[in-house]
Amino acid sequence: MNESLQAAYSGSGILTQQRNRVLRNTYWLLALSLVPTVLGAWIGVAMGFTFFAGSPLIGFVAFMGIAFGFFFAIEKFKNSGIGVALLLGFTFFMGLMLSRLIGAVLGFSNGAQLIMMAFGGTALVFFGMATMATTIKRDLSGMGKWLMVGVIMLIVASLANIWLQMPALMLTISSLAIVIFSAYMLYDIKRVIDGGETNYVTATLAIYLDVYLVFQNLLALLGIFGGDE
């Protein structure tokens, strides 16, 4: 009996160590992924990079094609250093995609301040969700399907607004995106903590997208409501 208990405790301890290692590596890689994102955004602003100037719809389709190409490649090589390199390449690309918004915000007299506010707000959301993920004991795996429904609705609404060009709809989309991807942040971190995700490259990609989209939409709202000419 004692040997069985010892084996159970030993197995539980090893499993906890593995989960903590995945979470630690995920956080380190997430922090590292911000470097190429900032670099890509800086280069994009300096070059006046834009992906949607000619046709927003074609630009959106091209963006999705490139993004899903990265997703496929990262998943295929997630167990090697190539996966890490591809992930960092993807974050550079996402920095380029962010440069148009950042350039527009920097056009305001308080643009730099708005960017720092968006960064600080995103950091607060991240630390809040990470703290909740470590303290909540219940299983959150059921959230996934509902959050995915929310993401699909956001994509459909965003595509519709390419033609509708409704400011109120854009504000609604950005507000809902912050809520949905904050919840996704909690969900993705909790999956790592509970052992539902055991690969730190895949985990980093998921959490990076959550952080990126919260920042992007928060910055867009701050630019609309807080930008000074």
1: exposed, middle or buried (Cβ count in 10 Å: 0-12, 13-18, 19+): exposed
CA–CA gap between residue 174 and residue 157 (Å, rounded): 11
% the chain with pLDDT above 70: 93
Res. 219 pLDDT band, cuts 50 70 90: very high
DSSP-assigned letter for residue 51: S
Whole-structure pTM value: 0.91
52 has a pLDDT exceeding 70 = no
Residue 61's pLDDT is 85
> For residue 108, is it left (φ>0), alpha (ψ between -120 and 50) or beta?
beta
| 209: nearest Cα among 104, 71, 19 | 71
Model confidence at 211: pLDDT above 60: yes
Mean of pLDDT over the chain: 90
Q: Which of 2-11, 96-105, 176-185 has the lowest mean pLDDT?
A: 2-11
Residue burial 44-75, b: 16+ Cβ < 10 Å; e: rest: bbeeebebeeeebeebbeeeeeeeeebeebbe
Burial class from Cβ neighbours inside 10 Å (0-12, 13-18, 19+) for residue 151 reads: middle
| Residue type at 226 in one-letter notation | G
Confidence of residue 7 (pLDDT cuts 50, 70, 90): very low
Q: Indicate the range of 13-22, 119-128, 163-172, 199-208 predicted with least confidence.
A: 13-22
Q: What is the mean pLDDT of residues 94-100?
A: 95
**CA–CA distance, 193 with 14 (Å, rounded to integer):** 14
Instruction: Calculate the alpha carbon distances from 18 to 97, 191, 207 in Å.
Output: 35, 13, 19
- What whole-number distance in Å separates Cα of residue 34 and Cα of residue 92? 9
pLDDT number for residue 170: 92
Kindly report which listed range (54-68, 104-118, 130-144) carries the lowest average pLDDT score: 54-68
Residue 4 has pLDDT above 60, yes or no: no
pLDDT at 16: 81
pLDDT of the residue at 229: 72
pLDDT tens digit sequence for 143-194: 989 999 999 999 999 889 888 888 899 999 999 999 999 999 999 999 999 9
The SS3 of residue 79 is coil
**5, pLDDT greater than 50:** no
Across 191-202, average pLDDT: 93
